[in-house]
């Protein structure tokens, strides 16, 4: 049980770990945990549309895919030009001391995500990018002129048709539509 307690505290570091690309964008920001949560929702939702995919596995991959960043920190695209994180070692050190059932699943989920060989892993990788696209679209709608350049490249990284279709819908939707659109009665009361 002690190993699990340590694991839960370590995973909690992702709530404090800031994603490091936003200073380059000039606006926005989120924790690694924020990112993993929404990416898991995106991946799960998209996987449900395909009966051949294991939607729960997609979500689990996305909840685990950045766990190593509790030890390595978040390296953005610029940082990765100069620094390398040994995420495999970080993951192995993280699961050391866990019950083998848990350690084995964490390893398997992270490996599957990183190898991108299964349809679930490919969709999970796209959900990872779609979460970024959602965040960038919000920043664009709020007036950041650089967000559109980042969106351009994030969309190019999408590999599945479902993700490309979702990206188009995200880009055609104002970030406030979920609460502002068609809610005249809310604002008139």
pLDDT digits (tens, 9 = 90+) for 82-124: 999 999 999 999 999 999 999 999 999 999 999 999 999 999 9
Radius of gyration of the chain (CA): 18
Is 2-179 a CATH 2.40.10.220 domain?
no
Q: Are 58 and 43 in contact (CB under 8 A)?
A: yes
Q: For residue range 19-39, list pLDDT tens digits in order.
A: 999 999 999 999 999 999 999
What phi, psi does 31 have (nearest 5°)?
-85, 165
How far is residue 78's CA from residue 34's CA, in Å, rounded to a whole number?
A: 21
The backbone torsions φ and ψ at residue 159, rounded to the nearest 5 degrees and listed phi first, read: -110, -20
Q: Report phi then psi at 18, rounded to 5.
A: -85, 145
């Amino acid at each position: 049980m002690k190993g699990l307690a340590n694991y839960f505290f370590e995973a909690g570091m992702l709530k404090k770990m800031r994603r490091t690309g936003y200073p380059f964008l000039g606006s926005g920001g989120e924790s690694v945990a924020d990112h993993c949560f929404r990416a898991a929702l995106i991946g799960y939702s998209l996987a449900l549309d395909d009966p051949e995919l294991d939607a729960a596995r997609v979500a689990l991959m996305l909840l685990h895919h950045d766990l190593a960043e509790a030890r390595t920190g978040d390296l953005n695209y610029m940082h990765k030009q100069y620094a390398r994180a040994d995420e495999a070692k970080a993951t192995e050190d993280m699961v050391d001391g866990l019950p083998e059932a848990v350690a084995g699943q964490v390893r398997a989920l992270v490996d599957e995500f990183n190898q991108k060989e299964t349809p679930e892993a490919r969709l999970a990788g796209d959900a990872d990018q779609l979460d970024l696209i959602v965040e960038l679209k919000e920043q664009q709608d709020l007036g950041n002129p650089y967000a559109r350049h980042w969106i351009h490249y994030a969309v190019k990284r999408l590999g599945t048709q479902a993700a490309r279709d979702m990206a188009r819908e995200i880009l055609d939707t104002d970030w406030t539509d979920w609460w502002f659109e068609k809610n005249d009665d809310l604002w008139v009361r």
